[in-house]
Amino acid sequence: MRAALFLAAIAAMFMICGCVGGMGTIEYMGLKYGSSTHDVASADKLYYTGETWGGAKLYAPGWESPEKVPSLLFTSDAAGYHAFSKLAVGIYAYSLYAHYNLGEPVTIGLMNEAAGKVDLKNAAPWEIQSLQGGEWKTIYQPVAAQVITTLENGTYMEWTWDQRDNGGEGVGAGEYRVAIDGKYMAYFNITPGSPVVRAEATDYDNKTLRDTFWDAKEHKAFGEHYKEYADEARRDVEGQMLFKAWMKGLDSDKLQSALKAARDNASTLNMLPCLAVHASYGGQPCWIIVYNWGMANESPGHIRYYVVDDAAGKIIQFETCR
């Protein structure tokens, strides 16, 4: 009897702590990861994916080259860091991120790693479904010619959804998934609390900076989502920014330097970055970062933006509402 109780207790411990201490498996956007022995090369380059598993935050290794889906993830606890490697699967759907802001383009795709040639019913065999009342309901299907399309082994196909439904209306916050060819699924969320990162070829001056960023929709969304400031929220948002930059193949190191420069400039303020755009200002490559901010006793509802040059990581322009 005691042996049975002991074994039951051990089983329960594994169920509860499946992602703690390097034991068991975790999931990320519907894909499974198993415990592995990889080391953390640089704690400063662990980028928060925005996802958790069993209460533990999932981090991507920014020292590695980005992939369509990270093949390696980490959790951390009082005992240290724990690594998890993506388990082998021949073909799978993916989303570039697990979290998107309202209106942010959603990148989705189908990866064929080792399934041989796969025939799809057309060149855009996907649909977007939203979780409504506990059921997945289709809200968008692209129009595509019904011509068989072959996905070769070791290749992928990728599409972008503009967050509009079949009627052309923008969708709201919630849980979503892409269903590809009726059987491959990837899951993601739309939330006003997710930062946006993008790259542009635009060369800004003072006028175009203000015209573009002074009334950024991301700032409004953040103001509605984050009613109060917390240091942990700021770290999480910055981590998600770095993760998105890394996944896009942008220079996350320079973005990290830009975030630090802005933070050091206003160390007494409560600031949350909502938008980071890599562009140029007066011909200089730079990061433009828009912030929600407030004084120590205020919610982060005010706006300011910084322009930080790539070369030296120095602030070359900024504007604030007060």
Query: What local confidence, expressed as pLDDT, does residue 146 receive?
Result: 85
Residues lower than pLDDT 50 in the chain = 1-22
Say if strands 270-281 and 196-204 run parallel, antiparallel, or are unpaired: parallel
42-to-21, 59, 60, 77 alpha-carbon distances in Å: 19, 12, 11, 16
Give which of 195, 199, 223, 219 is closest to 288, Cα–Cα. 199
Residue type (1 letter), 145: A
Q: Which residue has the tokens 């951390």?
A: 76
- Secondary structure (3-state) at 246: helix
Q: Are the C-beta atoms of 144 and 125 separated by less than 8 Å? A: yes
The CA distance from 118 to 153, in Å, is 8
Contact indicator for 269, 294 with CB cutoff of 8 Å = yes
Q: How many CB atoms lie within 10 A of CB 206?
A: 12
pLDDT of residue 19: 40
Output the pLDDT for position 72.
97
pLDDT (tens digit per residue) in 212-243: 999 999 999 999 999 999 999 999 999 999 99
pLDDT in tens, 98-147: 999 999 999 999 999 988 899 999 999 999 999 999 999 999 999 988 88
Model pTM greater than 0.75? Answer: yes
- The contacts of residue 217 (CB under 8 Å, 6+ apart) are 102, 103
pLDDT of residue 23: 53
Per-residue confidence (pLDDT) for residue 202, from 0 to 100 = 98
307 pairs with which residues across the strands? 288, 317
